[in-house]
Amino acid sequence: MPVRGLPPKPNLDHLKYQARDLLREHAQRNLGAAQRIREFHPRFGGVCDAEIFDAHIRLSDTQLAIARESGFPSWARLKRHIEKPTLPDRLNLPHHERIEDAIFRRGVELIDAGDVAGLRSHLKQYPNLVHQRVVFEGGNYFHNPTLLEFVAENPIRHGKLSPNIVDVTKIILDAGVEQAALNETLLLVVTGRVPRESRVQLALIDLLCDRGADPNRAVQAALHGELEAASALIRRGARVDLPVSAALGSIEDVRRLLAGAAGLDRHFALALASQFGHVEIARLLLNAGEDPNRYNPVGCHSHSTPLHQAALAGHMEVIQLLVKHGARLDLKDILWQGTPADWAKHAGRAEIVSFLRAQEIHSNGE
Single out the residue in 213, 239, 265 at which a domain terminates.
Answer: 239
Return the CATH number at 177. Answer: 1.25.40.20
CB-CB neighbours of 225 under 10 Å: 14
Residue 1: inside a domain: no
How far CA 121 is from CA of 107, 127, 147, in Å, comes to 10, 10, 15
How far CA 229 is from CA of 165, 200, 232, 280, 320, in Å, comes to 17, 11, 5, 24, 31
Instruction: Identify the domain containing residue 201 by its residue range.
Output: 95-239
Query: For 174-192, how does the pLDDT look when each residue is reduced to its tens digit (9 = 90+)?
Result: 999 999 999 999 999 999 9
Q: Say which amino acid occupies 86.
A: T
Which run of H or E residues covers position 341? helix 340-346
Query: For 74-122, how does the pLDDT look when each residue is reduced to its tens digit (9 = 90+)?
Result: 999 999 999 998 888 888 899 999 999 999 999 999 999 999 999 999 9
Query: Is the domain of 259 the same as that of 298?
Result: yes
Q: What are the strands, taking DSSP E only, across 189-262?
A: none
Single out the residue in 216, 239, 262 at which a domain terminates.
Answer: 239
Query: Is the domain of 219 the same as that of 291?
Result: no
Single out the residue in 63, 85, 107 at which a domain terminates.
Answer: 85
Residue 216: inside a domain: yes
Chain centroid to Cα 195, Å, comes to 17
Query: For 250-303, how does the pLDDT look when each residue is reduced to its tens digit (9 = 90+)?
Result: 999 999 999 999 999 999 999 999 999 999 999 999 999 999 999 999 888 899
DSSP string, 93-138: S-GGGG---HHHHHHHHHHHHT-HHHHHHHHHHSGGGGG------S
CA pair distance 327, 322, nearest whole angstrom:
5
Contact 217, 183 (CB under 8 A): yes
Domain count, the chain: 3
What pLDDT does 269 receive?
96
User: What is the pTM for the complete model shown?
Assistant: 0.83
Residue 4: inside a domain: no
